[in-house]
Amino acid sequence: MALESLKMRLLQVAGAIAPMTVNRLAIERVINACRRRPHPLSMSHDYTAWTGLSDTRWSARHLPPRNDLPANQENPSPKVEEIVQIFARRGEVRFCDKSTCLFPAFAQYLTDGFVRTKMPSDTADRLDPIRKQNTSNNQIDMCPLYGRTTEQTYALRHFSEKAGQRGRLSSQRLQTAAGEEEFPPFLFDDSGNVKPEFEALDPPLGISNLPDEMKRYIFAIGGDRANAVPSVSFMNTLFLREHNRLAGEMERAYPEWDDERVFQTARNTVIVLFIKIVVEEYINHINPRPIKFMADPTFAWTAPWNKPNWITTEFSLLYRWHSLVPEVMTFGGKAYPVQATFLNNRIVIETGLAQGFADLSAMKAARLGVFNTSDSILPRERFAIEQGRLCQLASYSDYREYCSLTRPSSFEEISTDPHVASFLKDKYGRPENVEFYTGLFAEDHVQNSPLPQLILSMVGVDAFSQAFTNPLLSEHVFKEETFSKAGWAAIQETKTIRQIVERNVPKALGDTRIAMTQADWKFQW
């Protein structure tokens, strides 16, 4: 490890001397770990077909299907029920030593807007081929806030005569522990029906079984998953406030602008602010190296990897970070069992935004990996395994090789935890039989990162190569006039969620910590 430590020191020095060059080289190194888009295959066909090259409703795939893998047989080995057990939390929660709960909150908000696997209806077969499709726009477009379609965006701006003015998103003011604060409007009327003005919105997932007393707090927002848990709801509310704050600044600076221009310019700005957080706070949090990535898009303009985004089914699976969720969440001094937080916006409203973000930043995330998923969300591990088999994904080893990593020759090379290695050996027999989803989470963590190696590699490839392709960051768009003076200034100065919270809560934050990294975490040389 002395050599590794020396390499890290040298990297740190290089980053200090030539930050832009090191940034570019480091990002290119991450992106070039695997094949560039366009993907030859999508889920529409097992061979290259025009549908699979042009119809983005079908999720793409990195590697071709493997029908010879034991897990992909009609009588699969091992069975799904057996493999689910490697995800089940055993005894106490194991916590992550780097991440706070702000990290999963952000990850969930990001991926719910971008991955968007199509879900079978509640009663449908969980092996429904619908899971081969997605409803993604294939852009980081803040659709949880703005909706996926023009019609949804319109509904979110024009829910009453008073609303839809001066570029604002519709909102309401509610009493929280900190005073009166701004939130999205409610989706349901007093009889529990969706208000007619919100009929264009996607219904929230899982809403059908929700008791009426909880339904009344569901927000009318862009995303069908953005009411799912308080952490995500805090995040979405934060960006709603930021949008409306920016719209206010723009309205004052450009009194000649109409409602539409203020709205569009604030939206341009919010999308880029979000991408800045993705790169400069989120990616830097998972980054195991002692350099800081910068969201400088200029080098991407001519890069050969700058090709149209297309969500892959592998990406949708590797982001199922269920094990990050602890058993108990504390908001505003009250502890909630995690299952009591699902679709529970009452917590959001009672706690208020500043306290909510402080609470998320004070809680340790659980450790991502096997034997650490709460029983309350364990069924989702089952769906993930099923999806991988439905898509006949290649093996975990195949994906390691695809990402320029070694193929493990023993179970001990996958995990140094003897319980994990022996579970895998017992179920899969040979390391090359380990399926993609299991292998992803069974691996050891990378030092200084909350993620195991293959997840880290694949997240890096897709995060960079799909964020920097955003048209708002493109060569002839990424300039002040696209965002206005106020928007451009916000983009330049914003690097953290904390800054956005600071400008959108009633009281100054003082020394409240709002961060994805735990206060006492230190880089391990």
Q: Which residues bind a second copy (CB under 8 A)?
A: 35-36, 38-40, 45, 47-51, 53-55, 137, 139, 141, 146, 150, 260-261, 264-265, 267-268, 271, 301-304, 306-308, 471-472, 474-477, 481-482
Q: Which residues of 426-460 are buried (b: 16+ CB within 10 A; e: fewer)?
A: ebbeebebbbbbbbbbbbebbebbbbbbbbbbbbb
What's the start-to-end Cα distance of the chain, in Å? 9
Q: How far is the CB of 303 from a second copy (least distance, A)?
A: 8
Pair 236, 171: CB distance under 8 Å: no
Identity of the residue, 137 or 433, whose beta carbon is nearer to a second copy in the bound complex: 137
Nearer to a second copy, 143 or 459 (CB): 143
Cα dist from 356 to 166, 408, 439, whole Å? 29, 42, 34
Among the listed residues 274, 275, 246, 278, the one whose alpha carbon sits nearest the alpha carbon of residue 262:
246
Tokens of 27: 């990002």
CB of 370 to a second copy, least distance (A): 33
CB nearer a second copy, residue 96 or residue 143? 143
Work out how close the CB of 228 gets to a second copy at its nearest, in angstroms, rounded to a whole number.
24
How many Å apart are CA 464 and CA 161, to the nearest integer?
41
| Least distance in angstroms from the C-beta of 477 to a second copy | 5
Q: Which is nearer to a second copy, 142 or 354 (CB)?
A: 142
State residue 60 phi and psi, 5-degree precision.
-80, 175
Dihedral angle sign, alpha carbons of residues 358, 362, 366, 368 = positive
Nearer to a second copy, 121 or 302 (CB): 302
Residue number with CB closer to a second copy (37 or 216): 37
As measured in angstroms, the least distance from the Cβ of 262 to a second copy is: 11
User: Shortest Cβ distance from residue 316 to a second copy (Å)?
Assistant: 21
What proportions of the chain, in percent to the nearest 5, are helix, strand and coil?
50, 10, 45
402 vs 413: CA distance, rounded Å: 17
Calculate the dihedral angle through the C-alpha atoms of 221, 227, 231, 233, rounding to the nearest 10 degrees: 20
Smallest distance from a second copy to CB 362, Å:
35
Of 129 and 203, which has the nearer Cβ to a second copy?
129
The token pair that represents 369 in the structure block: 């990996």
Residue closer to a second copy (CB basis): 261 or 346: 261
